[in-house]
Amino acid sequence: MYGIDPITELEGLVIESRGGTKKSPNYRNPGHSLLLAYVLKKIQNANISDLEIYVASNSSNYKSIDDRKVLYDGDFKINLNSITDFESFLKSIKKSIKQSGQKKGSTGGNSTKRITLFSKTANLKDLFTSDVEVQLNKQTESELEYIYQRIKKRFRQSRFRKELLEAYDNTCAITGSKVIDLLEAAHIQPYDGAYTSVVSNGILLRSDIHDLFDSQKDGKRLINISVDYKIEVHISLENSEYWGYNGKDIKLPKEIINYPKFL
C-alpha cells in the first residue's frame, strides 16, 4: 500500500510480510519475496537513484529512525542505476532486512517484517499506479509467475478497486461472492491511463472470473457481458462450473451513473 507509515512517519510504499516457523506452509513466503523483487526492479527501471528502505516493524529493538535504515554497500541511500547484478543486490537487501533490529546473539529476524520504501525525488505513488511493464528473471516455480501477475494487477488498481467495491456493495457482479480479498477491479475497455480507471469502465469480479473475463478464445472473452447485462459464457466452458452463470443477469451498482458501459 502507499501512504504515510505511522512508524517511520515517511510517505512511501509500505510492504508487509508475516513470517512463520519452518513447520509452517508459509515459511518461505514466496509471494512477499516476489513482491519485493517486483518493486525493486520497477524502481530500477524507473531510474530512481535515491531509494531509501526502512524497516517499519513495531519493535522495541529500534531506538531511532537511523536504526531502521536498510544499508546496501554501507550506504542507506541506494542508487539502483548502479546495480549490475540485480539478483545479488536483492539477496543483500533481503539479508539486511532480516538482520535489522536483531539483538546480539539472535539468529532470526522479526516474525513480521514491515518495510517502507521512500524517495525524495521520485513519486513512488504514480510509479506504482502506472502500467509500466517489468521483467523479472524467470523463476523455477510456475506459481511464482502467477503471484507476480496478481501483484501487477493489484498494484495498478488500488483506488479503482476501492471505488468499485463501494459501487457494487462489496459483491462480485457475476458470482455474488462477498469475500473481499478475492474481489478485483476489471477494466471493460483495456487500461490506458488514469482516465480509463473510472467506475463505468469497470466491473467488480471475483479473481477467477476476472481472469476469464480478460482471456479470449476464438476472438471472444471466456466470460463476457452483453450490452443488456447478460452473462455470456464461452462454449468451451460448457462442462465447467462456470456454465451455470450463462444467460443470467449481473448484479448492477447501486447508482445508475456507475452502471458498466459495454459495447
Can you tell me the distance from the alpha carbon of 175 to that of 185, in angstroms, rounded to the nearest whole number? 14
Computed from CA positions of residues 30, 34, 40, 43, in that sequence, does the dihedral angle turn out positive or negative?
Answer: negative
The yes-or-no verdict on residue 203 having pLDDT over 90 is yes
* Claim: this prediction has a pTM higher than 0.75: no
Do residues 127 and 250 share a domain?
no
263 within some domain: no
Top mean pLDDT of 6-10, 125-129, 227-231 is at 227-231
The yes-or-no verdict on residue 239 having pLDDT over 80 is yes
Do residues 148 and 179 share a domain?
no
Pairing of β 77-78 and β 216-217: unpaired
DSSP 3-state assignment of 233? strand
Does an H or E element contain 91, and which?
A: helix 86-99
Do residues 213 and 96 share a domain?
no
Do residues 166 and 65 share a domain?
no
Residues 6+ apart with CB under 8 A from 112: 16, 17, 18, 19, 57, 58
Do residues 121 and 226 share a domain?
no
Do residues 23 and 83 share a domain?
yes
> What confidence tens digit (pLDDT) does each residue in 95-151 have?
888 777 665 544 444 444 788 999 988 888 777 654 434 444 444 445 555 555 555
Do residues 143 and 171 share a domain?
no
DSSP 3-state assignment of 85? coil
Domain total of the chain:
2
Do residues 144 and 53 share a domain?
yes
Grid cell locating 31: 509471494
Can you tell me the distance from the alpha carbon of 36 to that of 95, in angstroms, rounded to the nearest whole number? 13
Mean pLDDT of 144-160: 59
Final residue in a domain of this structure, among 110, 131, 154: 154
51 within some domain: yes
Higher per-residue confidence, 209 vs 4: 209
Do residues 20 and 131 share a domain?
yes
Grid cell locating 33: 519475496
